[in-house]
Amino acid sequence: MSSAGEQDRTATRDGIVAAPAHVAIIMDGNGRWAAARGLPRLEGHRRGVEALRRTIRASIELGIRYLTVFSFSSENWKRPREEVSDLMGLLKRFIRNDLANLHANEVRVLVLGSRDRLSDDIAGLLSEAENLTRDNTGLTLVVAFNYGSRQEIVAAAASIAHDVAAGRLAPQDVTETLLSERLGTRDIPDPDLVIRTSGEKRLSNFLLWQAAYAEYVFTPTLWPDFDRSTLEAAIAEYRGRDRRYGGLSSRAGAAS
CATH for 224: 3.40.1180.10
In this prediction, residue 47 carries a pLDDT of 97
Identify whether 167 is part of a domain: no
What residue ranges of the chain have pLDDT lower than 50?
A: 1-17, 255-256
Residue-range definition of the domain harbouring residue 117: 18-148+190-239
Asked if residue 199 belongs to a domain, the reply is yes
For residue 9, being part of any structural domain is answered with no
Confidence (pTM): 0.88
| Residue 166 resides in a domain | no
Total number of domains in the chain: 1
Complete edge-to-edge strand list for the sheet that includes strand 22-26:
108-112, 140-147, 66-73, 22-26, 193-196, 215-218
10 falls within a domain = no
**Does residue 234 belong to any structural domain of this protein?**
yes
CA–CA distance from 178 to each of 152, 173, 184 (Å)?
14, 8, 13
Active site residues: 28, 76
Question: Residue 81: inside a domain, yes or no?
Answer: yes
Q: What is the pLDDT of residue 247?
A: 62
In a domain, 135, yes or no: yes
